[in-house]
Amino acid sequence: MNPPQGGENEAPHHQSFGLKTLLSPLGILYRLWTMSIRFQYHDEDGREEFQKITESVTVILWHNRLFLAGEWHQRFRKGKRLYGLISGSRDGAWLETFYKWAAIRAIRGSRNRRGAQATRDLIRKVKDGHDAGITPDGSRGPKYEAKSGGLLVARASRSPVALVSFSYGRAIRLKSWDEFVIPLPFSRVRLRTRILPNEELFKDRDLDQATKRVQECLMEMTDD
């Protein structure tokens, strides 16, 4: 969900219909798995602040919290669609399948495939009334190190930034670069959100300074 930069006008790879059909049982399992999760807000002030936001937002969360992003959005941002950027590579085709299970609309692009155009497409979606999802440390890390490209969408669309973080009681941590977290079925997940108004975030800050501010705020919300 991290905006790419630059790139060629080259068509992205997609999974074949046959492979998507074979993977469909996993999609059903994923949906049942995430629907069983019980969200609990960390504090009521954060919940009230978030519920007041009716305009489109740029959602920012760490890459290892991505498993629940779609389910969270469906429960707490009803009436809004969530869009995210995915690499145009073959690896990105697998992630696109996961996004569909999670009800996240994919916009394909990367440094080498439709990069600049994909970012413009995502900005347009936000201006059209939808939400954008960004993992500022994705897709290859380093873990918890935000890249400035992730803030391009928020700055260009003038949308508020919605920081999101999940704390897990019972979960599996994969041995990946980001220690990707998968909560166990029927477990309770504590939810933190924080709204950074666009004019406040970018006032007297350039893109790098705004990125540093977002990283600091996200780390305050991260419990590991």
> Could you report the per-residue pLDDT of 101-128, keeping only the tens digit for each?
999 998 877 555 556 888 899 999 999 9
DSSP label of 185: T
Q: What pLDDT, in 10s, does the model give residues 149-208?
A: 889 999 999 999 999 999 998 999 999 999 999 999 999 999 999 999 999 999 999 999
Q: How far apart are CA 64 and CA 205, in angstroms?
A: 27
Q: Respond yes or no on whether the N-terminal peptide bond of residue 142 is cis (omega within 30° of 0).
A: yes
Q: How far apart are CA 209 and CA 26, in angstroms?
A: 41
Who contacts 216 (Cβ-Cβ below 8 Å, separation ≥6)? none
pTM comes to: 0.87
Who contacts 202 (Cβ-Cβ below 8 Å, separation ≥6)? 155, 210
Contact 196, 150 (CB under 8 A): no
C-alpha distances out from residue 113 to 21, 86, 133, Å? 26, 10, 19
